Structure 1
Amino acid sequence: MAVNNGLPFDVSSTEYPAVLSLACVDTILYLGSSVGLFASDDHDASWTAVDLGVTSGTGGVRIQSVASFETNLFAGTGDQYNTNGIGILLSADAGQHWLSVGVSNTELTALASCGPAVFAGTYLAGALYTTLDGGSVWDFTNDSIGDTYVTKMAVNGSVAFAGTFSSGVFVSENYGQTWTRRNQGLSDLYITALAAGDNMVYAGTMYGKVFSSDNNGITWTELVSDLPGVESLAAGGGYIYAGTYDGVYGSSDNGLHWTHMDANIADKRILSLIITGETVLAGTEIGGVYISYDHGGYWTHASGVISSSGVYAFAMRGSSVFAGTDPEGVYQSTDNGAHWSKINTGLTLTNVRALTLDETNIYAGTNGKGVWARSLDEVVGVKEHGSDFSGVHVYPNPAKDQLNIELDNFENTELEIMGMDGRFIRRISLRSPETRIDLTNMASGIYAMSIKNKQGSTVRRFIKQ
């Protein structure tokens, strides 16, 4: 017997939704179809569409499989071609609320780490995922960003930013629990680049505009409006860099004037940028990584990254810089980008489009197979405490207005403070065994502090309250 009450069947049409799976939890029957999940509590006399909290494509989420275990209901979405899929979903309350327990079969556009949270933006409308446990469970119930999709993400202290296609910038100040749209002053809502540096946040757009905000996006100021389409941004040490369809543009006066950089990189599409101290790295669509030691005045090609790879993302921890490439996976450099080597162990899909790091893992967002994580303990050269470095005391931690550094061997010691997203904050040359660092102008959040001298190097983390 065919009972279609409530199902989206059009008897006048020759196209019927495919019934792909069935499962029962207590007295409720669940039906997975090519256009969504449906439930019946009256022995299939009538059916009600189950709200999964997000859509995929124009025809709804494809429920390829449905299974139950005790009171838990699992829904597997998409197919082998990633058609209308949003990964594996779990509901513990008869379908009222859903969690993603794996961001799989999904094209990732952006990743960011903020305090205990890691965020993953995707091409799916409204799907901005959040995990608070290192990626075991992802929550995608973020209705506040509407039906747009996330293009880029950035973090300024403890504040997270999500740039979207056509809806501007969304901000979260509570680790992704809620997102608020902040577009005052933005005359172009097609956000294609975001960056934080020098206590500022910058947004680049598809139509060549760059905006800045000194109050976490409450208001925005236009800096430039006539660049080629902006693909990437980086800021720090008094400099702003914009990667475009036509090379790199830079400003050393807070965005008042912009210069088209060296001809070696002028005609290349710049997908990613990062500042590591005095060094600037640029990831290209075709050509690998370029490196500049003089604030973008002259660029040279870095060795080790396949020239045919698109370098879509950078991330940094201590003395290690990571590059996410498509199709060659993840590379690591321990010499500020001059040389690179692959670290793809366990990464079965190497089409990497986004990268971020938290306290324990490096996360790689892929083009079609979700987020992959690898422990930083497995990556050579990424340690919080250098094995050859001793006699360092950092206190208080957390700190409010002042951080104290005590160092037994302080001669020729350089200290760099960086945000957890890799942005350069400040450099200090230590002149005595005890140094006090003023934190009053720094945003609240987690920071990394790299300490280097002839004894070696170490990275310590501290929290600014």
Structure 2
Amino acid sequence: MKKVLAIILCTFAFSGNLIAQWQQSNGPYGGDIRALAVDTATNHLFAGLNHGGVYKSTDNGASWTMVNNGIEFNTVSTLAASDGKIFAGTYDNGVFISTDDGNSWTAINNGLTTYGKFVSSIVVYRDYIFAGTNDGVYFSSNNGSTWTSVNSGIPDNVLHVHSLLISGGILYASVAGGGINGGIYRSADNGRNWVEVNNGLSGNSLNVFSMATNGNMIFAATNGGIYTSTDNGGTWTEKSNLSTWSVAVNGSNIFAGTIGSGIYFSPDNGDTWTAVNDGIPAKYIGAFVISGNNIFAGTWDGGIFLSTNNGTNWTDANEGITGMAISSIVHSGDRIFAGGYGGVYTSTDQGNSWTIVNNGLLSTSVIPLAVSGSNIFAGTQNKGIFLSEDNGTSWTEVNNGLTSTDIRALNVKGDSILAGTNGGVFLSTDNGSNWVEKNNELSKVQVMSIATRDTCTFIGTTNGILLSTDNCNSWVDASGGLPSNTTVYAIVVSGDNVFAGTFGDGVYLSSNNGSSWTAVNNGLSDLQIMSLAVNEKGIFAGTYNGGVFVSTNNGSSWIAVNSGLLCKRVSSLMLGSNYVYAGTSAASVWTNDVGITGVREIKKSEISVFPNPAKETLFLRGIEPNAEISIYNIKGKLLFNKILTSNQVDISSLPRGLYAIKIVDKTGMRTGKFIKQ
């Protein structure tokens, strides 16, 4: 019994995090797709995402399910399937294998060096597996249980492998390193020895991102265009001059995924090309996979698209992929808007569903959003600011007077709109129709965040904080107490207090308009602050790897509020009337009802449960009628939720183990824990 009590006491912090449960919203759907593969044994599709792990489709892309057990939210840069085995190469955590259709993953890195765990390409040939890494090529003959470096003939200064290809039993590797584009190397003996095969490649075309084959013809997608070889790489011929990242071959039909220009199609092995972008708004194409008559294109800024007619038109195939990078969330009336690297999305049902609203946007890389009355402003990367007066149905460019169009922050105060850019601050007093530069020598910097209070305007930069007290006509340094060269991603105002979120140094507080700052990091396990939000109930901080933290005492202490939050990289926060919304860098939008129950209730006493341990029935003391009960396992997964009609709970179906319990009734929220025998 003493041992049981000790376990309960040691898990007190665990149950505290279950006060409020994060739920992933149904979108926005899509993501930054880095790899696609099909397992021909099952015809199941797999997609690898940037910071998003792996998704699987069993119905030709009609729907997708996250399959991250064991691989988590790694960046999956390459996928390969063979004989029921799926191999995933990640960017810094090596190679993973799944032998159960992606349902679970195991790391297989024995023999890989630190740089060898940065994996960009995997190919399977008979019983051999080859991995292209930042430390050259590795070879395995035992399904990845052990790896051996095979780089003889490849210079040490170009061991960064972009891609691998097997064609006619010959292995090809495209390499680079240290600013040098090394081109292509060939091995006829399973990687034991390599020779350079760059005749016809020069300049940008030596930067080869991917390769594909059709019979004796090899296609190389390069920064200088598409090149082909019909003599095992002996000579290369230019077929297109478009900067190309990915290439796929289906007979004589060739698909080229470009860097910024969408997809091009050739029906004649690359002799002629036509843009085929009907239905595919994304312009950066990271991967292809062909399954029967279906061609899937994975994009960096819009997810996956499907064509069944050789690219004549494309349809969205993202249902279930919640992998979008969300940089900003705002609300206007009963609508929520989310901006990110896919454009702007809106929801009218508290995030239960989302609709893309990009009509008129010249860039889908949206960083800040702001609301002024019924108007929505979207700041984009390198295309300036766009205005919507109809809830996102259409957008109009409003850049008159802007000399810097890389927009990092927007702030609305009354009739004034402030824009923070890579070139300082700009002000508009006519709804964005015109912008006036508001900079002195101090403020012509990269502005990351803006906040206002009374006559004070604070801007967070890549080197501290600047303050203006005269409508942005002049600026002074207000970084006293901040670490030098600190980047301030977020600033919020709460009464007389100003909070600054820095990247690497945590949260700082000023109670004197920025004259001095004090670190307030007690309880913060991640000091890389990406976002801040504040309301009357507390201050919320979104971090780079630690999820969400909340403080109810002006930053004197923080607690993690991460129960159920699978992706801990939180780039934006918005406090609605009913929910807290968290935009993540790789898992779209999450919601939490902590906004309803109130973070102050974190300190409420625990619910009394007995007996404890229990076998069949759990009894609860002191609950009100119609209380809501939720039971979670030790991993934070919600197992049980219902409205109680008595003080008894049947737990007979639960496995033996430790559980946390949450009760919500008219008195508020309480938590507890119990052991099922």
The alignment's TM-score, normalised by the length of structure 1, stands at 0.64
TM-superposed deviation, 1:241: 0.3
Is the Cα–Cα contact under 8 Å of residues 62 and 85 in structure 1 kept in the other structure?
no
Q: What is aligned with 2:337? A: 119
Equivalent residue runs for 1:380-395 within 5 Å = 380-381=598-599
Distance of 1:90 and 1:356 partners within structure 2 = 33
Equivalent residue runs for 1:22-421 within 5 Å = 51-55=278-282, 57=284, 59=285, 78=298, 84=300, 86-87=302-303, 104-124=322-342, 127-207=343-423, 209-226=424-441, 227=443, 228-265=445-482, 267=484, 268-304=486-522, 306=524, 308-376=526-594, 380-381=598-599
Partner amino acid, structure 1, of 2:554: N
Q: What is aligned with 1:407? A: none
Q: What is aligned with 1:17? A: 248
Task: Write the deviation string for residues 136-191 of structure 1: whole angstroms up to 9, x where unpaired.
Answer: 32222413112351121222233221111111111122221111111122121111
Distance of 2:280 and 2:505 partners within structure 1 = 40
Is the Cα–Cα contact under 8 Å of residues 399 and 435 in structure 2 kept in the other structure?
yes
Distance of 2:367 and 2:468 partners within structure 1 = 24
TM-superposed deviation, 1:109: 2.1
Is the Cα–Cα contact under 8 Å of residues 526 and 546 in structure 2 kept in the other structure?
no
Is the Cα–Cα contact under 8 Å of residues 531 and 573 in structure 2 kept in the other structure?
yes
TM-superposed deviation, 1:133: 2.0
Distance of 1:275 and 1:76 partners within structure 2 = 46
For the pair shown, the structure with the greater C-alpha radius of gyration is 2
TM-superposed deviation, 1:239: 0.9
Q: What is aligned with 1:29? A: none
RMSD value, Cα: 3.7
The alignment's TM-score, normalised by the length of structure 2, stands at 0.45
Distance of 1:284 and 1:365 partners within structure 2 = 18
Determine what percentage of the aligned residue pairs are the same residue: 31
Is the Cα–Cα contact under 8 Å of residues 282 and 291 in structure 1 kept in the other structure?
yes
Find the residue that maps to 1:348 and give its secondary structure.
coil
Residues 189 and 14 (structure 1 numbering): CA distance in 2 closer, same or farther, change over 3 Å?
A: closer
Across the two proteins, how many residue pairs are aligned to each other? 340
Is the Cα–Cα contact under 8 Å of residues 301 and 341 in structure 2 kept in the other structure?
no
Greater CA deviation, 104-113 or 237-246? 104-113
Distance of 2:406 and 2:571 partners within structure 1 = 19
TM-superposed deviation, 1:282: 0.2
Distance of 1:18 and 1:116 partners within structure 2 = 47
TM-superposed deviation, 1:309: 2.6
Residues 51 and 200 (structure 1 numbering): CA distance in 2 closer, same or farther, change over 3 Å?
A: same
Task: Write the deviation string for residues 364-417 of structure 1: whole angstroms up to 9, x where unpaired.
Answer: 11122222222245653389xxxxxxxxxxxxxxxxxxxxxxxxxxxxxxxxxx
Find the residue that maps to 2:360 and give its secondary structure.
helix
Distance of 1:185 and 1:337 partners within structure 2 = 39
Partner amino acid, structure 1, of 2:400: Q
Residues 131 and 231 (structure 1 numbering): CA distance in 2 closer, same or farther, change over 3 Å?
A: same
Is the Cα–Cα contact under 8 Å of residues 305 and 314 in structure 2 kept in the other structure?
no
Partner amino acid, structure 2, of 1:246: N
Is the Cα–Cα contact under 8 Å of residues 529 and 543 in structure 2 kept in the other structure?
yes
Distance of 1:328 and 1:280 partners within structure 2 = 22
Partner amino acid, structure 2, of 1:131: S
Task: Write the deviation string for residues 267-322 of structure 1: whole angstroms up to 9, x where unpaired.
Answer: 22111101112111000011110001111111111133536532111222323221
Distance of 2:331 and 2:451 partners within structure 1 = 17
Partner amino acid, structure 2, of 1:264: G
Residues 347 and 253 (structure 1 numbering): CA distance in 2 closer, same or farther, change over 3 Å?
A: same
TM-superposed deviation, 1:112: 1.9
TM-superposed deviation, 1:56: 5.3
Distance of 1:277 and 1:90 partners within structure 2 = 51
Is the Cα–Cα contact under 8 Å of residues 358 and 394 in structure 2 kept in the other structure?
yes
Distance of 1:236 and 1:100 partners within structure 2 = 42
Partner amino acid, structure 2, of 1:297: S
Is the Cα–Cα contact under 8 Å of residues 483 and 505 in structure 2 kept in the other structure?
no
Find the residue that maps to 1:144 and give its secondary structure.
coil
Distance of 2:317 and 2:379 partners within structure 1 = 23
TM-superposed deviation, 1:55: 0.9
Is the Cα–Cα contact under 8 Å of residues 287 and 309 in structure 1 kept in the other structure?
yes
Distance of 1:158 and 1:336 partners within structure 2 = 32
Distance of 1:304 and 1:62 partners within structure 2 = 47
Task: Write the deviation string for residues 315-349 of structure 1: whole angstroms up to 9, x where unpaired.
Answer: 22323221111111111122333332211111011
Find the residue that maps to 2:322 and give its secondary structure.
coil
Distance of 2:581 and 2:291 partners within structure 1 = 27
Partner amino acid, structure 2, of 1:54: P
